[in-house]
Amino acid sequence: MAHPAPSTTQLLHRALAADRPIFSCSRVHHTPPAPVSLIVASNLQIQLVLANKCVQRINQAQKTPEGGASSHTVDLGPILGPSRIARAWLDPLGAHLVLSTKPNDPEGQPDLLYLHRDRDKPKFSSKFKGVGVTAVAWHTPNTSESTTGPILLGTATGVIWETELSHQEERFLATPLEAYTKLAFDLGQGQYTPITGLEYHRVPHTQRYFILATTPHRLYQFLGKVGSPEERPLLQHVFQNYAQRPDKFLELPSSLKTSTLSMFYQVRQRGQASAQHPLYPVSFGWLTGSCVYTGKIDALTAQADTVTVDCQMMTFPRVSGSETAVMPRAFLITEFHAIYAYETTVRGECLLNEQIVFETELDVSSGKIRGMARDPVIGSFYVYCDYGIYKFKVEREERNIWQIYLEQNEFDLAQQFCLGDELKLEVVNARRAEDLFDQGRYLESAMHFAKTRRSFESIALKFMQIDEKSALLNYLKRKLETAKMSDRMQVSLIVVWIIEIYVSRLRQIQREGLSPDLYQQTHAEFRALLENPKIKPCLTQNKNALYDLLSVHGDKDNLVRFAEIMGDHDQVIRYHLQNDRFEAVLQILKEQRQPELYYKYGPDLMRNMPQAFVDALIEQGLKLAPARLIPSLVVGTAREQELESIRYIEHCIRRLDNKGAALHNYLVALYIKHQPEKMEEYLAEQGADPEDDLPYDVNYTLHLCQGAGLIKECVRLYCLLGQLDEAIDLALTVDLEQAKRCLEFAHEEDDQRKIWLRIAKFVVQQKNDIKQAMDCLKECQNLVNIEDILPFFPDFVTIDHFKDAICDSLQEYSKHIQDLRDEMDESNKAADGIRQEIQEYKNRYIFVKATETCSVCHGYLMARGFHLFNCGHKFHTDCLVKEIMPYLSSGRRRKVDEIQAEMTNLRLDHNDEDTQSVDSRTVRLSRKDQLRNDLDELIANECLFCGELMVKMIDRPFIEDHKFEQEVLDWL
């Protein structure tokens, strides 16, 4: 995968990081009070064993006020006596210190001491007195500071013990140091075989354990399972597996009586030196007298009783000025380097190519180098002299490893150690691609060339020169995956090129008759490319060019598929139409459901497969506009096509309730042409009211019906047009019933009477059937009388023929006269009743007390003019006007104002002649009474509280908005 070019800031940071040394050296700001004999370190704890039999603790996690690390000294001189400390081991927590002593007196015995970091008084081991302990294997998962957990002790005689040291406070009785002690294995078999190194670890997520033990010239490995991590002793079952078998070991010749076993533990994160908890080794180094034996630890796939893999032997580096290799004084191993300490120099040798990568000369004023110690938790290591301590910090020692693997053509490992660096990955991928190309592995080479930023043109030309289209295709596809879609020109070039290669390959397979499976596979790859949504914009942009490319190669199937992918259904449909594949066209229309396609290609389908096309139209329902489908329906005059058109239009009218005039008119024309018997039913379904908007053109339909001789339909259409005379004349040529149907369209009595007269005249004059004429008189419901049709009879007709009709008519007249008399009598009675009520109302009165008050202002009612209502409510006239005015119309309000103004003027004029309620000279009311009556009509038609006005005021609030705040304040 190609990466974007790094920025200037990123390049600067990389350059600065590359300038920093991998192993940075700094002196610890601490001067020991006596020469340093031993150093052990773990978890930021450094413990110095001094020549004066003191142990000095340096806690780098705690700082003094001066900024240095806090220190504390424990004097062991009085306890050790004539013995000295020979070896020291510190557990990963930095809490448990184990010391092995060696007597200065040949007759003395070695001891084992335990010193907790929170105590100044050590404990002697009673179980290991006289046993020279030379190696300790810690229980790395341990997190307790009060106990060490099960540990292994190696002795000078080759015996391995398992024990557990416990730190507990002594109270009344002495508490033993060892929780238990168990002899685990004997490597020496009674001979002096000092164990120089000892490690044991649990394989992650299993119950398997492995143990590494070294002697001066042998490396032993023990593998096995335990029942439970809580059982004690823990490793008994592991060692029991080797009790009856000969020893399994690796032996290297050595003239020395010692060797060094060093482990590199798994780190928390790549690029950091701190180890993961619990400590677990990933590689080891074993320094013997002849060489350094290194390798990886792989316990998960361990077989044949070994966990060491990819092992190699390395000779000691030569010291400058010496022709031979010199045995170093101390040794330890990191992830990729072996660190050697000489008298004044510290050197680092790469484990991969055995090249010296750094060399540091220390200050000899502090004395010669005595040894090295590493803090396995932090990852730093210390080199100590007599009076000086130097700290070496590992600074991403893996940063240059990719170059070493690259030089060795280990491309996978080189890529792994690029750690995502784009520049490094670019170099690795380019080298790998070139190497694969030289080997003739062109497909793989193309894949890796695509990951680089090498010139696209140069790589493409490289594969074209060797005519390797498969590799070129692979390169183009990978390049397309990594290309930026914003670079349209390059993407377009790659896409078109890939398509051209695929089309050519498909043609070649067909032409040469190669395997059908190969064709199917290639075709599937090609279709997958076309369906890739990432390149959809590019395909759309270059659609026409790709159409031309596929057409030139004659690849019609892929041309259709490409058009389908592009959503270019016009292209696909045109292709199918050219090949008379109408079923495929109809299927596309059904799948896409785009109305425009139905409108555009409907004529072709209607012409060639009308039934199936109409079925598809019916399935679409309201999604299609029937009016836009008329060009498809009228495309041909064949009977089959027009019958299918009738079926679709009937569906639109009856199921979809379509009212389109064009559709109805076309259906009328088709009915008259092919199914005239349906016309009468169709016209009846559309209604008989000429005032309604009929969906068809009546004049056009009448013209067609006249041409087809459909008399009944013509009669109905004449009636719809309001031409009743023409309708009756035409209907009478058929029969009387048809003429009577015209009555359905005559809504006025005059029109109905005219129709009955025409029918009667036809019966009398044309049929000369007096009996049937009399029947018509009965049926017309008195619209026509005998006297109306008498002029139609000939002179020779006697009265006997219609005597009964005349008698019936006279009886009807008599009945009608009597009905009028009855109505007059009822009217007179009603008028008398009204006169009586008026007289009673004139004499009606109501008593009003002096204490009565107005229902609005609650003032005394008789203080000024007032109005009384039958319901009992009483109002001052001015209060009533004021309350009712807001609910009157503007015209009525204006009228009330005019009346009040005129009444005021009359009072001011003091006209004595107008003071009477009735004018003395005339019977008319006076002007004042007339104004008062007009005012009463406007404001006193109904009670303000009991009339309709109160109902209309139901939504009015009790308190008006402008008075609400004042009302609230009054209540508060």
Q: How far apart are the C-alpha atoms of 863 and 546, rounded to whole Å?
A: 105
pLDDT tens column, 69-97: 889 999 999 999 889 999 999 999 999 99
Q: What pLDDT does 110 receive?
A: 93
| 243 within a domain of the structure (yes/no) | yes
Q: How far apart are the C-alpha atoms of 820 and 928, rounded to whole Å?
A: 44
pLDDT: is 477 or 829 the higher one?
829
Identify the CA nearest to 480 among candidates 964, 1, 25, 963: 1
| 604 within a domain of the structure (yes/no) | no
- Compute φ and ψ for 706, nearest 5 degrees: -65, -40
Clarify whether residues 317 and 383 are in a common domain.
yes
Last residue of a domain, one of 552, 567, 582: 567
Clarify whether residues 429 and 529 are in a common domain.
no
Share of the chain above pLDDT 70, in %: 84
Q: Is the pLDDT of residue 666 over 60?
A: yes
How does the average pLDDT of the chain come out, rounded?
82
Q: What pLDDT does 90 receive?
A: 97
Clarify whether residues 427 and 542 are in a common domain.
no
Q: How far apart are the C-alpha atoms of 727 and 251, rounded to whole Å?
A: 131
Q: Which CATH number is 283's domain given?
A: 2.130.10.10
Clarify whether residues 952 and 919 are in a common domain.
no
Clarify whether residues 311 and 420 are in a common domain.
no
CB 142 within 8 A of CB 148: yes
pLDDT: is 537 or 832 the higher one?
832
Own/partner long-range contacts of 118-127 (Cβ < 8 Å, ≥24 apart): 118/145, 119/167, 120/74, 122/74, 122/76, 122/79, 123/167, 123/177, 124/177, 125/165, 125/177, 125/178, 126/176, 126/177, 126/178, 127/163, 127/177, 127/178, 127/181
pLDDT: is 480 or 333 the higher one?
333
Q: What pLDDT does 106 receive?
A: 80
pLDDT: is 927 or 314 the higher one?
314
Q: What pLDDT does 810 receive?
A: 61
Residue 920: pLDDT band by 50, 70, 90 thresholds?
very low
Q: How far apart are the first and last CA of the chain?
A: 81
Q: What pLDDT does 15 receive?
A: 45
Residue 803: pLDDT band by 50, 70, 90 thresholds?
low
Q: How far apart are the C-alpha atoms of 539 and 529, rounded to whole Å?
A: 11
Q: What pLDDT does 437 receive?
A: 85
Residues 519/521/522/523 CA torsion (nearest 10 deg): 80
| 492 within a domain of the structure (yes/no) | yes
| 238 within a domain of the structure (yes/no) | yes
pLDDT tens column, 682-711: 888 887 776 667 888 889 988 999 888 888
Clarify whether residues 272 and 318 are in a common domain.
yes
How many residues does the structure list for the chain?
Answer: 972
Least confident span in 305-309, 623-627, 772-776, 835-839: 772-776
The sheet with strand 281-287 has its strands ordered as: 260-265, 281-287, 292-297, 308-314
803-842 helix and 770-779 helix, angle to the nearest 10 degrees: 20
Q: Which amino acid, residue 206?
A: T
Q: Which domain holds residue 437?
A: 406-466
Clarify whether residues 74 and 192 are in a common domain.
yes
| 655 within a domain of the structure (yes/no) | no
Q: How far apart are the C-alpha atoms of 192 and 836, rounded to whole Å?
A: 156
Q: What pLDDT does 199 receive?
A: 97
Please give the average per-residue pLDDT across 877-884, as a whole number: 88
pLDDT: is 852 or 544 the higher one?
852
pLDDT tens column, 571-630: 777 777 777 888 888 887 887 778 888 888 888 888 899 999 899 888 888 888 998 888
Last residue of a domain, one of 337, 367, 395: 395
Residue 105: pLDDT band by 50, 70, 90 thresholds?
confident
Pair of tokens at residue 390: 């130097």
Q: What pLDDT does 504 receive?
A: 73
Please give the average per-residue pLDDT across 413-418, as a whole number: 87
| 535 within a domain of the structure (yes/no) | yes
Q: Which of 36-50, 541-555, 723-737, 958-972 has the highest mean pLDDT?
A: 36-50
Clarify whether residues 262 and 387 are in a common domain.
yes
Least confident span in 158-162, 276-280, 923-927: 923-927
Please give the average per-residue pLDDT across 552-560, as a whole number: 64
Clarify whether residues 291 and 194 are in a common domain.
yes
| 62 within a domain of the structure (yes/no) | yes
Last residue of a domain, one of 567, 590, 620: 567
Please give the average per-residue pLDDT across 365-381, as a whole number: 93
Residue 3: pLDDT band by 50, 70, 90 thresholds?
very low
Pair of tokens at residue 443: 């497909």
pLDDT tens column, 257-275: 899 999 999 998 877 888 9
Clarify whether residues 882 and 894 are in a common domain.
no
Q: Which amino acid, residue 125?
A: S
pLDDT: is 754 or 403 the higher one?
403
Please give the average per-residue pLDDT across 716-727, as a whole number: 81
Q: Is the pLDDT of residue 48 over 80?
A: yes
pLDDT: is 632 or 737 the higher one?
632
Please give the average per-residue pLDDT across 223-232, as a whole number: 91
Clarify whether residues 428 and 388 are in a common domain.
no
Give the chain's largest Cα–Cα span.
182
Clarify whether residues 429 and 530 are in a common domain.
no
Please give the average per-residue pLDDT across 151-172, as a whole number: 86
pLDDT: is 228 or 777 the higher one?
228
Please give the average per-residue pLDDT across 314-340, as a whole number: 84
What total of structural domains would you count in the chain? 5
Q: Is the pLDDT of residue 890 over 90?
A: no
Q: Is the pLDDT of residue 174 over 90?
A: no
| 631 within a domain of the structure (yes/no) | no
Q: How far apart are the C-alpha atoms of 554 and 248, rounded to whole Å?
A: 73
Q: How many CA atoms lie within 13 A of 599 on its CB side?
A: 9
